[in-house]
């Protein structure tokens, strides 16, 4: 579904983040991108979202070159993604409102788009229906992230990108949102790319794990996680082994 | 603020005024009761037209200032290049007391509503421009990226992010400058017009020596200022309730 073909990316007058970088993501796979701060994880996600563009090479999604944000791609950021002046319901409706603002033009909204305008089932599915009339400043961090997820899933994406989505949350909330993400990814048959700096999170949410190191990133280092999504994986010996393996690889870079 | 507290404050001001009027005991300071009687009589015999003329000038200049300064403020707040180009000009022009421009504006625009509207417009324009620019500059890039990823281009970003984000700044700017705007309106209405509360106050105080009518005009102008201030307060309550809710 996603192909990086000899992608080079450098910030103006700054370091080269990716150099001749090749990567391939198959449809329906859940990828976690793991690496230390400053390795280019977020840049990779912004490239995938069509919010930044390679300085060399090309990115293809469904064999089409990526030239702008794609209507079928959903992006969820760590924080600050919600409008503080809009209620939970209004925030969840934002994507649909933007689509009806432009109409089904094929650029901002899919050309076959028929917005339902109803986000209530999503608010209900994510357990925030009772908070629908509150503002982001009045709800917890976990509820804010659930709102961001509802807003994205209401647009029925086929590719879900998440940037450190749960890193500012406390451990129990983080775990429950990780489980919810696993359920939703399976339920909606989404292709996902989740960026994280937490080894444990990558091991839980990544069917495949892409390791990034200090830039420039040239070699694609991927690790398979065959036990991904299995019940009880979080408590299993395989999970601990995978975490140990990831830790040693990151330490060895 | 609670209504009861406001009522008590109004009563306190009236009592102090009454006491002063009784102590001074001269025609240049009539009592509030006397002024109130004249106020309602004058309102029916022409003062309402002067009030409406002043109100129209303030409202027209306010709408004009919002329509021009808010979009420009958003552009400057979002574009570092544009801001670095225009910031020195804004920096120089912002602190100039606009009231000193009254004679110049009158020279160029002559009689009628336009020069008065322009002078208040200038006061509000810079205040709104600076506050909206700073507000737009403080929007987190993550928020813009996040909304862009939902498919928003420039127009949708303006409609769904920049404009609602700048509303508190616009209202704060109006709150800060509405008093100055009415004060400058008074000065502007002293010249080249026969309509407006400024003219009415000056005519009654300095030409007709009708002091109760002059005071009625002062009360009307005060009500204009206070009314506008309350209107901004009400709008802020209606449109920016999320700030206090959080």
Q: Say yes or no for a CB contact (<8 Å) between A51 and B165.
A: no
User: Does A186 lie in the same domain as A64?
Assistant: yes
Question: Is A107 exposed, middle or buried, given 0-12, 13-18 or 19+ CB atoms closer than 10 A?
Answer: middle
Domain presence at residue A235? yes
Of B146, B240, B245, the CB nearest to A75: B146
Domain presence at residue B6? no
pLDDT value for A38? 85
User: What order of strands is seen across the sheet that includes strand A16-25?
Assistant: A16-25, A2-10, A56-61, A64-65
Contact by Cβ (8 Å): B57, B116 = yes
Percent of chain B with pLDDT over 90: 61
- Residues from chain A that touch B169, judged by Cβ atoms under 8 A, are none
Reduced to 3 states (helix: H, G, I; strand: E, B; else coil), residue A4 is strand
Say which CATH number the domain at B225 has.
1.10.3720.10
Q: Write out the DSSP string of A13-77.
A: TS-EEEEEEEEEE-TT-EEEEE--TTSSHHHHHHHHHTSS--SEEEEEETTEE--S--TTEEEE-
Percent of chain A with pLDDT over 70: 97
- Residues A6-24, mean pLDDT to the nearest whole number: 90
Looking at A104, A135, A156, which one is the last position of a domain?
A156
pLDDT value for A173? 85
CA distance A25 to A28: 9
Residue A116 pLDDT exceeds 70: no
CA distance A131 to A3: 39
> Whole domain around residue A148: which residue ranges?
82-156
Domain presence at residue B66? yes
Size of interface A-B (CB pairs under 8 A): 86
User: Which of A80, A89, A93 to substitute to test the interface with B, most B CBs within 10 Å?
Assistant: A80
Domain presence at residue A77? no
Q: How far is CA A221 from CA A30, A116, A181, A190, B119, in A?
A: 16, 41, 24, 23, 66
pLDDT value for A213? 87
User: Does A93 lie in the same domain as A139?
Assistant: yes
- Residues B110-124, mean pLDDT to the nearest whole number: 90
User: Does A167 lie in the same domain as A58?
Assistant: yes
- Residues from chain A that touch B152, judged by Cβ atoms under 8 A, are 98, 108
Q: E-strand spans in chain B?
A: none
Domain presence at residue B228? yes
Domain presence at residue A130? yes
CA distance A74 to A45: 11
User: Does A247 lie in the same domain as A232?
Assistant: yes
Looking at A117, A135, A156, which one is the last position of a domain?
A156
Residue A217 pLDDT exceeds 80: yes
User: Does A34 lie in the same domain as A135?
Assistant: no
For residue A70, give how far its alpha carbon lies from the nearest alpha carbon of chain B (Å). 7
State the pLDDT confidence band at A81, using cuts at 50, 70 and 90.
confident
Mean pLDDT of chain B: 91
* Model ipTM value: 0.84
> Whole domain around residue B231: which residue ranges?
41-240
State the pLDDT confidence band at A103, using cuts at 50, 70 and 90.
confident
Domain presence at residue B9? no
- Residues A68-83, mean pLDDT to the nearest whole number: 85
For residue B156, give how far its alpha carbon lies from the nearest alpha carbon of chain A (Å). 7
For residue B2, give how far its alpha carbon lies from the nearest alpha carbon of chain A (Å). 24
- Residues from chain A that touch B246, judged by Cβ atoms under 8 A, are 84, 135-138
Into how many domains does chain B fold?
1
pLDDT value for A115? 62
Give the residue, B56 or B246, on which the prediction is more confident. B56
Q: Say yes or no for a CB contact (<8 Å) between A69 and B159.
A: no
User: Does A131 lie in the same domain as A36?
Assistant: no
Looking at A156, A189, A215, which one is the last position of a domain?
A156
- Residues from chain A that touch B143, judged by Cβ atoms under 8 A, are 80-83
Q: Say yes or no for a CB contact (<8 Å) between B151 and A84.
A: no
Domain presence at residue A101? yes
Q: Which residue of A has its CA nearest to B246?
A: A137
Domain presence at residue B211? yes
Q: Which residue of B has its CA nearest to A88?
A: B242
- Residues A108-131, mean pLDDT to the nearest whole number: 82
Domain presence at residue B13? no
Q: In A, residues 78-107, which contact B (CB 8 Å cutoff)? A: 78-86, 94-95, 97-99, 101-102, 107
Tell me the pLDDT tens digit for each residue of B143-166: 888 898 888 888 899 999 999 999
Q: Say yes or no for a CB contact (<8 Å) between A137 and B155.
A: no
Q: Which of A155, A166, A143 is nearest to A32 (CA)?
A: A166
Q: Say yes or no for a CB contact (<8 Å) between A98 and B152.
A: yes
- Residues from chain B that touch A79, judged by Cβ atoms under 8 A, are 142
Q: Which residue of A has its CA nearest to B162?
A: A83
User: Does A223 lie in the same domain as A209?
Assistant: yes
Tell me the pLDDT tens digit for each residue of A173-210: 888 889 988 988 888 889 999 999 899 999 999 999 99
- Residues B101-124, mean pLDDT to the nearest whole number: 90
For residue A251, give how far its alpha carbon lies from the nearest alpha carbon of chain B (Å). 30
User: Does A33 lie in the same domain as A13?
Assistant: yes
Say which CATH number the domain at A212 has.
3.40.50.300
For residue A164, give how far its alpha carbon lies from the nearest alpha carbon of chain B (Å). 13
Q: Which residue of A has its CA nearest to B146?
A: A81
User: Does A108 lie in the same domain as A123?
Assistant: yes
Domain presence at residue B26? no
Q: Say yes or no for a CB contact (<8 Å) between A95 and B150.
A: yes
User: Does A233 lie in the same domain as A143?
Assistant: no
User: Does A164 lie in the same domain as A152?
Assistant: no
Into how many domains does chain A fold?
2
Residue with tokens 């991904």: A228
Of B143, B160, B246, the CB nearest to A81: B143
- Residues from chain B that touch A73, judged by Cβ atoms under 8 A, are 149
Domain presence at residue B1? no
User: Does A169 lie in the same domain as A111?
Assistant: no
Q: How far is CA A66 from CA A56, A60, A61, B24, B227, in A?
A: 13, 6, 6, 81, 54
| Ranges A72-86, B53-67, B187-201, most confident | B53-67
A120 CB neighbour count, 10 Å cutoff: 15
Least confident of B33-42, B108-117, B220-229: B108-117
């Amino acid at each position: 579904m996603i192909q990086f073909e000899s992608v080079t990316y450098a910030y103006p007058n700054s370091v080269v983040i990716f150099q001749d970088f090749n990567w391939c993501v198959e449809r329906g796979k859940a990828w976690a991108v793991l690496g230390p701060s400053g390795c280019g994880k977020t840049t990779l996600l912004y490239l995938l979202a069509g919010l930044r563009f390679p300085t060399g090479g090309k990115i293809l999604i469904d064999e089409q070159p990526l030239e702008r944000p794609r209507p079928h791609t959903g992006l969820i950021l760590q924080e600050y993604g919600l409008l503080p002046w809009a209620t939970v319901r209004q925030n969840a409706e934002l994507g649909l409102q933007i689509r009806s603002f432009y109409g089904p033009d094929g650029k901002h909204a899919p050309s076959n788009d028929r917005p339902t305008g109803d986000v209530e089932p999503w608010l209900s599915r994510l357990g925030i229906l009772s908070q629908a009339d509150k503002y982001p400043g009045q709800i917890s961090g976990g509820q804010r992230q659930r709102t961001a997820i509802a807003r994205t899933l209401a647009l029925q994406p086929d590719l879900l990108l998440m940037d450190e989505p749960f890193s500012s949350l406390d451990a129990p909330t983080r775990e429950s949102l990780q489980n919810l993400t696993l359920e939703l990814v399976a339920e909606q048959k989404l292709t996902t790319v989740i960026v994280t700096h937490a080894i444990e999170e990558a091991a839980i949410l990544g069917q495949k794990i892409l390791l990034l190191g200090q830039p420039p990133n040239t070699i694609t280092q991927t690790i398979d996680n065959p036990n991904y999504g299995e019940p009880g994986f979080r408590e299993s010996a395989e999970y601990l082994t995978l975490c140990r393996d990831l830790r040693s690889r990151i330490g060895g870079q | 603020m609670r209504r009861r507290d406001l009522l008590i404050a109004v009563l306190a001001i009236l009592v102090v005024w009454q006491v002063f009027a009784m102590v001074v005991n001269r025609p240049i300071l009539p009592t509030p009761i006397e002024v109130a009687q004249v106020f309602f009589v004058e309102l029916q015999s022409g003062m309402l037209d002067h009030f409406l003329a002043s109100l129209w000038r303030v409202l027209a200049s306010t709408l004009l200032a919002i329509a021009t300064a808010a979009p420009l403020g958003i552009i400057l707040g979002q574009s570092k290049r544009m801001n670095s180009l225009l910031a020195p000009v804004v920096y120089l022009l912002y602190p100039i007391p606009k009231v000193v421009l009254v004679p110049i504006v009158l020279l160029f625009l002559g009689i009628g509503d336009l020069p008065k509207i322009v002078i208040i417009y200038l006061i509000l324009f810079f205040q709104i421009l600076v506050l909206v620019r700073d507000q737009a500059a403080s929007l987190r890039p993550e928020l813009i990226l996040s909304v862009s990823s939902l498919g928003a281009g420039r127009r949708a970003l303006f409609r769904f992010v920049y404009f609602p984000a700048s509303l508190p700044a616009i209202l704060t700017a109006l709150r800060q400058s509405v008093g100055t705007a009415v004060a400058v309106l008074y000065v502007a209405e002293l010249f080249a017009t026969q309509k407006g509360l400024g003219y009415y106050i000056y005519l009654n105080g300095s030409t007709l020596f009708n002091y109760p009518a002059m005071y009625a005009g002062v009360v009307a102008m005060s009500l204009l200022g206070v009314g506008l201030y309350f209107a901004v307060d009400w709008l802020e309550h209606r449109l920016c309730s999320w700030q206090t809710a959080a």
